[in-house]
Amino acid sequence: MSRPAFYRTIVIAVALALLEAACRLGWIDRFSLIPPSEMLQSAAHILASGEYTRDILVTFGTVAGAAILSVMGGFAVGLILYRWPRLKRAADPFLASYYAVPSFIFYPLFIVMFGLNRWPLVAVAFVFAFVAMAISTVDGFLSVRPILLRAARSMRLTRTQTLRLVILPAAAPYLFTGVKLAIVYAFIGVVAGEFILSGSGLGYRIAFAYQSFETATMYGLMLILLVSVVTINMMLWSRERRLHARLSR
């Protein structure tokens, strides 16, 4: 294990230990927060019982769908913004303010467009996630050093060859960051949407448990969500770091 990873493990372990102590010693009351060990027990119980498996799978499926669409759509939009810099400059003020709008307010619109199924939720998550991919795509293309394009010209590459063999590989680290962000935002969008709107999925079950005062179940489900998200994130993050390291000097 590398040194940073070692320290990281220590930090997390200490934080968990403190939390456990705080809960058990009564510094935080049991109605608010249960000790991490009990969260773990609850999570294990939930997984073993299979009671919520369908909801978990539904959520993951929806996230996957939203993420894939966001990556493709975001890449396409990013390409367009790269090709037309005027368009990008015109859109610049909105690229950050975009996140202030709760995209689930368009849920009724999406129901009309897609029907009463999971697709409106995919749409809500898509709207939240594709912008991150688009911005990363533009940044990636802009990051290609001009000298590489000159080298491509000097070797008489066609435009398609240049795009495929030089631009895409050079932009790969940023594109990968975009994919990672798209997945993260898709998760957030789907789970938040389920929390507020939907009748199925992990987010919905957490909200339901909260409203039914079933704190143990609620925290167990939250732990499952947390661990899944963190695991996926870590896998993507390490791959992303290797890509960036290979291409920096």
Near another protein in 55-94, by CB under 8 A: 86-87, 89-94
φ and ψ of 32, to 5 deg:
-85, -55
Q: Is 96 in the site for another protein (CB under 8 A)?
A: yes
156: left (phi over 0), alpha (psi -120 to 50) or beta: left
Which range touches another protein (CB under 8 A), out of 17-25, 40-48, 68-76, 167-175? 167-175
Q: Is 8 in the site for another protein (CB under 8 A)?
A: yes
Task: State the residue for tokens 């996630």.
Answer: 129
What string marks each residue from 100 to 139 as x (binds another protein by CB under 8 A) or -?
Answer: xxx--x-xxx--xx--------------------------
Compute the least distance from the CB of residue 140 to another protein, in Å.
13
Which range touches another protein (CB under 8 A), out of 5-13, 39-47, 50-58, 68-76? 5-13
Q: Is 28 in the site for another protein (CB under 8 A)?
A: yes
Integer Cα distance of 232 and 33 in angstroms: 25
40: left (phi over 0), alpha (psi -120 to 50) or beta: alpha
Q: Interface residues for another protein in 176-235 (CB under 8 A)?
A: 184, 187-188, 191-192, 195-196, 203, 206, 210, 218, 222, 225-226, 229-230, 233-234
Residues 124-160, buried b or exposed e (16+ Cβ, 10 A)?
bbbbbbbbbbbbbbbbbbeebeeeeeeebeeeebeee
